[in-house]
């Protein structure tokens, strides 16, 4: 992924949906592959199921009762010995009484005389319940053209945008009063469930040793990465080829509370080779059609809690990113561990970088 070294802030996000008995690709009415990561995640978690005839019905609207059921599953809420919220339209014999009571007890839905279980959820209401359910923090600049401070869910929508859970429509609107579809609610939920803000930087206190396979000469090398200095913007890491004692170009790594970028230092270098906005969540975070994308890539977070073997260490809590070129089909996979940085990198199915060990500087 190419991004200018000059930091330009874009809000990156997309939309998706959830099922169970089948993987996302098996739903005959769900053709958009950009939804597959979120869908597959919720299928694996047994949160939402499709229909028996392999339909997902992504454009169907979601009711308040359905949201209560889905959130109860997603959050693992207790449905035993729950306090009766005493909604006049949700008696103890209601099909979803336990789930509705559970989400109300959890403070996700407000108290009141009626619940309206069959009422269609709007996108604005969806933002409110997700913010409450996952205790999300932060606020993005108000760039949605159809929001005002009087819009129900105004603050919560901006909180979801800040956390890269929503993006809105191409015309700059959010459409807070529109019904939320199964597809959209599923995407937003899966992202909220996998939200992560890891430290992707290498630790300057350590020397990193990688096994490296060169795709240019098809030779294997051992590389040492050692922090050298901060150039006013990037951490500069000196790379030494222990196999030949030659020095590779330095690695530049940029990181702050909201950005991660890495590049190979070159004369006249103006782009990061990998550029990410934080926090991360599963799903497509950069689409090749997004404004500002010049290299024709799609970046997808496959997981924020994976397991990867690198060297003799099995790492958990791994962020796995997939960068796919639409021009040549090349797929690069990056595996990051919080507080350690890159532990593995593959080009298609070939491992090109693998962390062997880290040694504390003397």
pLDDT, one tens digit per residue, over 31-73 is 767 778 897 899 889 998 888 888 888 889 999 999 999 999 9
**In whole angstroms, how far apart are CA 168 and each of 5, 178, 180?**
26, 12, 12
- Average pLDDT, stretch 140-165? 96
Q: What confidence score (pLDDT) does residue 244 get?
A: 86
CA 353, distance to chain mean position in Å, is: 23
Measured between alpha carbons, how far is 10 from 28 in angstroms, rounded to an integer? 33
pLDDT tens readout for residues 181-213: 998 899 999 999 999 999 999 999 999 999 999
Per-residue pLDDT band for 279 (boundaries 50, 70, 90) equals very high
**In whole angstroms, how far apart are CA 320 and each of 109, 227, 257, 293, 339?**
34, 24, 19, 21, 15
CB 222 within 8 A of CB 211: yes
Q: What confidence score (pLDDT) does residue 53 get?
A: 85
Cβ partners under 8 Å of residue 5, min gap 6: 233, 254, 261, 263, 269, 270, 271, 272
- DSSP per-residue codes, 117-163: TTSBPBHHHHHHHHHHHHT---------TT--TTSTTHHHHHHHHHT
- Average pLDDT, stretch 328-338? 95
Q: What confidence score (pLDDT) does residue 270 get?
A: 67
Per-residue pLDDT band for 327 (boundaries 50, 70, 90) equals confident
* Structure token pair of residue 148: 């005002």
Q: What confidence score (pLDDT) does residue 268 get?
A: 60
* Residue 294 pLDDT exceeds 80: no
CA 264, distance to chain mean position in Å, is: 25
- The single residue listed with the structure tokens 């009766």 is 84
**In whole angstroms, how far apart are CA 212 and each of 136, 334, 344, 356?**
40, 14, 10, 10
Which secondary-structure segment (H or E) carries 323? strand 313-325
CB 139 within 8 A of CB 120: no
Measured between alpha carbons, how far is 347 from 319 in angstroms, rounded to an integer? 17
Q: Which pTM does this prediction carry?
A: 0.88
**In whole angstroms, how far apart are CA 262 and each of 93, 242, 280?**
57, 22, 16
Cα atoms in the Cβ-side hemisphere of radius 13 Å centred on 74: 29
Mean pLDDT over the full length of the chain: 89
The three-point CA angle 347-350-354 to 5° equals 90
CB 223 within 8 A of CB 345: no
Q: What confidence score (pLDDT) does residue 39 get?
A: 79
Measured between alpha carbons, how far is 312 from 15 in angstroms, rounded to an integer? 38
Peptide bond into 279 cis (omega under 30): yes
Please report, to the nearest 10 degrees, the dihedral formed by the alpha carbons of residues 85, 130, 62, 17 taken in order.
-140
Question: Percentage of the chain with pLDDT > 90?
Answer: 73
Burial class (CB in 10 A: 0-12, 13-18, 19+), 191: buried
The residue ranking higher by pLDDT, 326 or 225, is 225
Cα atoms in the Cβ-side hemisphere of radius 13 Å centred on 323: 17
């Amino acid at each position: 992924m190419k991004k200018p070294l000059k930091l330009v802030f874009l809000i990156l996000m997309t939309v998706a949906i959830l099922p169970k008995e089948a993987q996302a690709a098996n739903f005959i009415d769900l053709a958009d592959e950009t939804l597959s990561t979120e869908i597959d995640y919720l299928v694996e978690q047994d949160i939402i199921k499709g229909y028996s005839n392999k339909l997902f019905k992504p454009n169907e609207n979601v009711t308040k009762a359905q949201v209560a059921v889905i959130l109860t599953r997603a959050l693992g809420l207790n449905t035993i010995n729950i306090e009766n919220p005493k909604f006049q339209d949700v008696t103890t014999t209601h099909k979803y009484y336990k789930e509705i009571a559970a989400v109300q007890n959890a403070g996700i839905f407000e108290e009141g005389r009626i619940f309206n279980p069959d009422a269609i959820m709007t996108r604005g209401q969806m933002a409110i319940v997700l913010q409450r359910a996952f205790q999300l923090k932060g606020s993005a600049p108000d760039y949605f053209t159809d929001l005002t401070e009087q819009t129900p869910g105004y603050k919560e929508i901006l909180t979801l945008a800040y956390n890269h859970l929503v993006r809105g429509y191409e015309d700059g609107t959010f459409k807070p009063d529109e019904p939320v579809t199964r597809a959209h609610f599923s995407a937003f939920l899966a992202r909220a469930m996998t939200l992560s803000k890891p430290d992707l930087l290498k630790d300057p206190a350590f020397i990193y040793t990688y096994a490296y396979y060169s795709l240019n000469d098809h030779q294997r090398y051992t590389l040492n990465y050692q922090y050298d200095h901060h150039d006013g913007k990037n951490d500069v890491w000196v790379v030494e080829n222990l196999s030949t004692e030659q020095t590779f170009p330095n690695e530049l790594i940029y990181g702050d509370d909201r950005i991660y970028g890495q590049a190979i230092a070159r004369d006249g270098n103006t782009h990061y080779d990998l550029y990410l906005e934080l926090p991360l969540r599963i799903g497509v975070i950069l689409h090749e059609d997004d404004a500002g994308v010049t290299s024709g890539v799609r970046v997808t977070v496959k997981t924020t809690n994976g397991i990867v073997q690198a060297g003799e260490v099995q790492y958990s809590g791994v962020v796995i990113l997939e960068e796919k070129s639409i021009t040549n089909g090349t797929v690069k996979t990056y595996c990051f561990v919080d507080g350690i940085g890159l532990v593995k990198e593959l080009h298609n199915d070939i491992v090109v970088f693998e962390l062997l060990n880290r040694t504390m500087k003397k």
